[in-house]
Chain A
Amino acid sequence: MTQALSRILAIQNLVIKFSLRGRILTAIRDISLDLYKGESLAIVGESGSGKSVLMKSIMGLLDKNGYIDQGQIIYNNWDLTQFKTEQEWLAIRGKEVAMVTQDPMTSLNPLKTIGKQIEECVILHQCQKGRAAYLETLKLLKDVGIHDVEKRYRQYPHEFSGGMRQRIVIAIALACKPKILICDEPTTALDVTIQAQILQLLKHLQQKYGLTTVYITHDLGVVAKVADRIAVMYAGDIIEIGETHEIFFNAKHPYTWALISSLPQLGSKGEQLYSIKGTPPNLFQDIKGDAFAPRNPYALKIDFLERPPFFQVSDTHYARTWLLDPLAPQVQPPEALWAFFEEGRRYAHES
């Protein structure tokens, strides 16, 4: 189904490295990813998986000590990896790609009214001035669900709660009329009741403006609500990618199994939750084979030697695990997931 949509961004064989105190850390180890127009892609991973780095590279926001070692990022016939000057990036940032970040407390300038902050972007990106810009700002504020917009226009960030500040940040992002909206953990710092509202808002805005949204998160619950496709990242690599129901109910990579099984919703009281032993690998060293192998209870000998390629599970579902190789032994996902997968199949059948 996603093949029918056109491709808006293509990342090809991307490698990103950081030089840290004299050593080289490989944050992104050869990733290829396609983004389709109008879809909602979620990138799931833990800290250190590289998900933020990947998105920052699309906007040219890598830290000073980071650089793109190999690969291309193709957008609109431009190769973003070749951009060297701030001037070139100005054509992309805001206009084409906008970002909503995690902490609304620090994303806003405390010394300016929020109206002015939104209006700045309207003037810059929509080439409107004066009254027209003011009206457009009010419209944006209404769009993101803020009431009493004339009064709110003149208020400062500290007069708003966390959830409302996040709405303002979203309004600023929209003021640029971008094609792609990247949301980096947009609700992690918010209360759960506000989180639901913000996610609802983002979904609504995506449909209204025809945006392509990318969600970066570690929360599978958030993903279940908003994503069409999911890419699971581990240690700088995409290890599984597919449509939402495929990843949730037909996952093939042991890391994805582990992620889903470790959710408390799947645990039974009085028993131990399924948990992954150990810690993510050291990215300063070259990783041989599958990065997840040392922690993988289903690891094969070849996992320590060769990096697995993407095996196809369906037209839209690919997983980077040797367990899908025809020579591999048949492996069942962990018991904790059987009931969950069953439930999923039932729902799929009904709908």
Chain B
Amino acid sequence: MGMYSEEINNISHKSRETLFEFAVMDERQAEETAYSNYSYWRSTWKSFLKNRIAIFLLVGVLIIVTFTILQPYLPAQKSPTEIYLDEQTGLQARNIAPNAEFWFGTNSIGQDLWSRIWAGTRTSLLIGCVVALVEAIIGISIGTLWGFSRKLELPITQLYNIVDNIPTTIVLILMSYILRPSVSTIIIAMCITGWVEMARFIRNQIVILRDREYNLASKCLGTPDYRIIVKNLLPYLISVIMLRLSLAIPFAIGAEVFLTYIGLGLPISEPSLGNLINEGRVLMMSPELRYQLIFPSIVLSVITIAFYIIGNSFADAADPKNHV
């Protein structure tokens, strides 16, 4: 059979005798588990860190956002709305290509493009973040109730069906007619229809989780519904919520650009990425003036691509199966 008992010959005979006495059994030692210090968030973070591109973009986005906020306080910045006059002619400094004075040049009515772009980015980011946040809050609240409460399931489903079937564009047009075009109008209009996706998503996750045994156990212990939702269900959803948030931001920014294209965006007096791109769009054909389109487009593209990649990398990192 191939099994031998001669392996012990290397131990000296004398010491062997004492070794054959009974050892004292330590019960605590027996109970100590293989302490696995697996922390879900630590593993997620580590997994995320392995993705160099995502880290690079994350840093890039953070730099852009910080700069956007700090830009007005830096020295030698111009006002985004002031129409600059050419010192020599006294006329409006129109369509000046990028030079030492106007780093990004000026637009067709003489405004400094550099400060306009950063002001526009500020506005667009504000819209994006607020919309994403409000959508998340409304979406999570309604989605949770929808998925968890058997009584509310039917009415909310009907509500969802109605709201989902109304074309977003129509709502936006209506809102823009009723309220004057402004940042808050756009935010309200986008939130009215935007919560639906998040609600449906959260509801699906809740339906999957609500019948798991640990929730049954909580019910048997008499735990009230709100505490089951907060302590048993939502902690599992944090990673997916963060993912959807990070994707909602560029989506909202893009929606704002779209609205501006169809004329429902912000007034021209308020700079936003949508406005800037729209202005630049008409000048696309003339090569000297193309810069007015290129600069805002680059900023928009960088933000959008960065958020998408960061969001998806985070989703991959948050998947427990990738934690090996």
Contacts and interface: CB of A to CB of B under 8 A. Distances in A.
Direct contact between the two chains A and B in their complex (CB within 8 A):
yes
Interface of A: 3, 10, 20-21, 32, 34, 65, 241, 277-279, 281-284, 293-306, 309-312, 315-316, 318, 322, 325, 327-329
Q: Is the interface of A mostly helix, strand, loop or mixed?
A: loop
Contact of A318 (B1, B8, B30): B1
5 contacts: A10-B2, A294-B26, A299-B22, A301-B20, A310-B5
B23 interface: yes
Given A299-B25, A300-B20, A281 B34 contact: yes
Given A20-B324, A310-B5, A300 B19 contact: yes
Contact of A282 (B1, B21, B25, B34): B34
B220 interface: no
B324 A65 contact: yes
B211 interface: no
Nearest to A65: B324
Given A295-B30, A325-B20, A309 B5 contact: yes
A327 B26 CA distance: 24
Given A284-B34, A301-B20, 10 more contacts: A21-B323, A241-B3, A277-B30, A295-B30, A298-B22, A300-B19, A301-B19, A302-B19, A304-B23, A316-B1
A314 B106 CA distance: 97
B30 A278 contact: yes
A277 B27 contact: yes
Nearest to B3: A310
Interface of B: 1-8, 11, 16-23, 25-27, 29-35, 38, 43, 323-324
A275 to B, nearest CB: 11
A74 B25 CA distance: 40
Nearest to A285: B34
Given A277-B27, A297-B25, A309-B4, A327 B20 contact: yes
Contact of B3 (A281, A303, A318): A318
A316 B1 CA distance: 8
A303 B19 CA distance: 8
A309 B4 CA distance: 7
B8 to A, nearest CB: 6
B236 to A, nearest CB: 21
Given A21-B43, A318-B1, A278 B27 contact: yes
Q: What are the nearest 4 A-B pairs in CB distance? A: A278-B30, A282-B34, A302-B19, A310-B3
